[in-house]
């Protein structure tokens, strides 16, 4: 059984949003077209409290996109984004939601960031996404969404570690940083991940 994971298709990652990914809106029509091809569709939602420590605003004297240490890990400091209850945290109004059976929220602990839909960045706490997918008989996980080099990448990495066959739908993602994406792709390929195009799945 195949699952499609829609990663963080939220207003703040789309043009006009607080942490807009260039051309992020281009992936929404693909997300909508691909859903009927799958046995299960699940979405992740970045869902931060206003005082989240991944926000540059929470660190006096630090700037957005500067790297600092958080929980012993390198942490990029982001603009405030996907704050719980704000319009920026909502899914795009253009995203079809009728096939989405579950939403996994992440980034709720103010002390640690959480790029993956499976675990926080320190692998301290699970969202139980892996157990949910296994409980639904899923063996293959397909990923799309934003951002290609952060949340899609780290979710794919954890999916591989959890033993799923992983298919990264490359043209249905957009990156914050192209160089970062090239590294992420090489890493996923080295670990057994597959890269596919949406056209291959829509045939």
The closest of 38, 36, 42, 46 to 14, measured between CA atoms, is 46
When the beta carbons of 107 and 117 are compared against Zn ion, the nearer one is: 107
- 187 contacts: CB under 8 Å, gap ≥ 6: 153, 157
**Residue 190: other Cβ atoms inside 10 A:** 8
Chosen residue from 20, 83, 130, 151 binding ligand VGL by CB under 6 A: 151
Question: Is residue 46 a contact point for ligand VGL (CB under 6 A)?
Answer: yes
Cα of first residue to Cα of last residue in the chain, in angstroms, is: 18
Residue 75: beta bridge partners?
68
Q: Taking contact as CB under 6 A, which single stretch among the options 60-68, 123-131, 142-150, 165-173 is the one that binds ligand VGL?
A: 142-150
Please choose which of ligand VGL, Zn ion, none residue 147 contacts, taking the beta carbon within 5 to 8 angstroms, the exact cut-off set by kind.
ligand VGL
Q: Is 110 exposed, middle or buried (0-12, 13-18, 19+ CB in 10 A)?
A: middle
List the x/- string, 67-86, binding to ligand VGL by CB under 6 A: -----------x--------
When the beta carbons of 78 and 142 are compared against ligand VGL, the nearer one is: 78
The helix (H) or strand (E) run that includes residue 108 is: none
What is the contact surface with Zn ion in residues (CB under 5 A)?
46, 107
When the beta carbons of 24 and 107 are compared against Zn ion, the nearer one is: 107
- The contact set with ligand VGL (CB under 6 A) reads 8, 13, 46, 78, 115, 146-147, 150-151
């Amino acid at each position: 059984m195949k699952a499609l994971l829609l990663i963080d298709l939220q207003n703040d990652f789309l043009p006009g949003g607080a942490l807009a990914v260039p051309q992020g809106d281009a992936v929404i029509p693909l997300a909508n077209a691909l859903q009927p091809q799958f046995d299960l569709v699940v979405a992740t939602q970045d869902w931060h409290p206003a005082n989240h420590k991944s926000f540059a605003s929470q660190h006096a004297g630090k700037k957005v996109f500067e790297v600092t240490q958080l929980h012993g890990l390198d942490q990029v400091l982001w603009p405030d984004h996907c704050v719980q209850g704000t319009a920026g945290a909502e899914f795009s109004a253009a995203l079809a939601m009728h096939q989405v059976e579950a939403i996994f929220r992440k980034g709720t602990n103010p002390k640690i960031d959480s790029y993956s839909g499976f675990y926080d960045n320190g692998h301290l706490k699970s969202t139980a996404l892996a157990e949910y997918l296994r409980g639904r008989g899923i063996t293959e996980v397909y990923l799309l969404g934003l951002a290609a080099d952060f949340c899609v990448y780290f979710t794919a990495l954890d999916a591989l570690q959890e033993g799923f066959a992983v298919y990264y739908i490359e043209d249905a993602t957009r990156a914050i940083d192209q160089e970062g994406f090239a590294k992420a792709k090489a890493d996923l390929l080295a670990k057994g991940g597959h890269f596919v195009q949406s056209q291959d799945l829509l045939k």
